[in-house]
Amino acid sequence: MCNTLLPLACTACLAFVLLAGLGCLDNLAAPDKPALPATLNWGASSDSSSDGEAVEATRLSVSNATLDDLRSRLKAFKFVEPVENSGFEYGFNGAFMKQLVSHWLNKYNWRVWEDRLNSFPNYFTRIEGLKVHFMHLKPSKKGVKKRVPLLILHGWPGSVFEFYKLIPLLTTPDTDGLAFEVVAPSIPGYGWSEAAKKRGFSAAACARVFDKLMVRLGYRQYYIQGGDWGAGIGHIITREFPERVLGFHTNMPMQPFRQPSVIVQMIAGSFLPDGILFSKKDGQKTFPYFEKLSDIIRESGYMHIQATRPDTIGHALSDSPVGLAAYILEKFSV
């Protein structure tokens, strides 16, 4: 018993000392803040109009011509035969896509969902040269004692549409009379927000744009919720504009991997039993490390092409609704 416990205790002790030291190193190594880009106008260079402060109410609408074009493309769907006895392990399954396209053509009615989107107040405003779309909802029901501003941020592959069930829950007062004033913007390039025309539009640039949006709406301080890119953007707001942030909630917390302590923790954690450096639950999610890493690599091919050659994949996806559906829905398949 002693023979097995002693080396374990020593290793744990050593790991603790190492981690404490590396924690200090982390503080020296980590820059305080991510650099905000110097560009303050992401619109086309030929466009010299300035932002202004105007906030314009809008009704979201897709033209009949666009819907007709969609139908003709869905009718021209080319079946991709799946490998025998395969599910979704090689990507989106062709047999399932056949059913999906049939549903899309015959049962799905865009106008119903367009009305649903328009049951929320939608707005446009111009920030840093970009037309930014957002939903803005104030609780109107009686019984509201305290209103709290909340910026909610979507990610990829997503849009503000993800929040249509959540928003009414947030704007309805709880038993203490607390309700949220919700601002849900579309990330530039997503949904109805204009994409940047210049190079270098980063999560940090987007964080600055959304903070300007909140200030323009009169919120000097606000809460943030974010997942995926929304998590990254929200995190940067907390670091860049801490005086504005009342609180930050995320469904995708991240540990910065460049920190020496994290790297050592991961290596040590893979040798030690769960429950020492990591809780049992976290250990199960993290180890065996290379197995988990290969799962992540298998699931993130999209990220590599989007990060390196977005315009190449962009041609394929904007020209084919079925291709786009496969590309996005694959992420919801198992």
- Interface positions with ligand NAG (CB under 6 A): 61, 63-64
Cβ nearer to ligand NAG, comparing 118 with 279: 118
CB atoms within 10 A of CB 315: 9
Q: Least Å distance between CB 61 and ligand NAG?
A: 5
d(CA 135, CA 162) in angstroms, rounded, equals: 12
Cα 145 to Cα 32, 78, 172, 225, 293: the distances in Å are 38, 56, 11, 22, 48
Cβ nearer to ligand NAG, comparing 68 with 295: 68
Cβ pair 154, 227 in contact under 8 A: yes
Provide the strand spans (E) within the chain: 55-58, 122-127, 130-137, 146-153, 178-185, 222-226, 245-250
Cβ pair 141, 173 in contact under 8 A: yes
Q: Least Å distance between CB 64 and ligand NAG?
A: 4
Cβ nearer to ligand NAG, comparing 59 with 304: 59
Q: Least Å distance between CB 110 and ligand NAG?
A: 10
Cβ nearer to ligand NAG, comparing 61 with 318: 61
Torsions phi, psi for 80 (to 5 deg): -105, 110
Q: Least Å distance between CB 188 and ligand NAG?
A: 25
Tokens representing 215 are: 């200030």
Cβ nearer to ligand NAG, comparing 61 with 119: 61
108: left (phi over 0), alpha (psi -120 to 50) or beta: beta
How many angstroms from the chain centroid is the CA of residue 178? 26
d(CA 156, CA 230) in angstroms, rounded, equals: 9
Cβ nearer to ligand NAG, comparing 111 with 145: 111
Q: Least Å distance between CB 275 and ligand NAG?
A: 60
Q: Least Å distance between CB 191 and ligand NAG?
A: 18
Q: Least Å distance between CB 60 and ligand NAG?
A: 11
Cβ nearer to ligand NAG, comparing 63 with 255: 63
DSSP state of 35: P
Side-chain half-sphere CA neighbours of 154 within 13 A: 24
Tokens representing 30 are: 């980590």
Kind and range of the H or E run holding 116: helix 110-118
Q: Least Å distance between CB 90 and ligand NAG?
A: 39
Cβ nearer to ligand NAG, comparing 61 with 251: 61
**Closest-approach residue to ligand NAG (CB):** 64
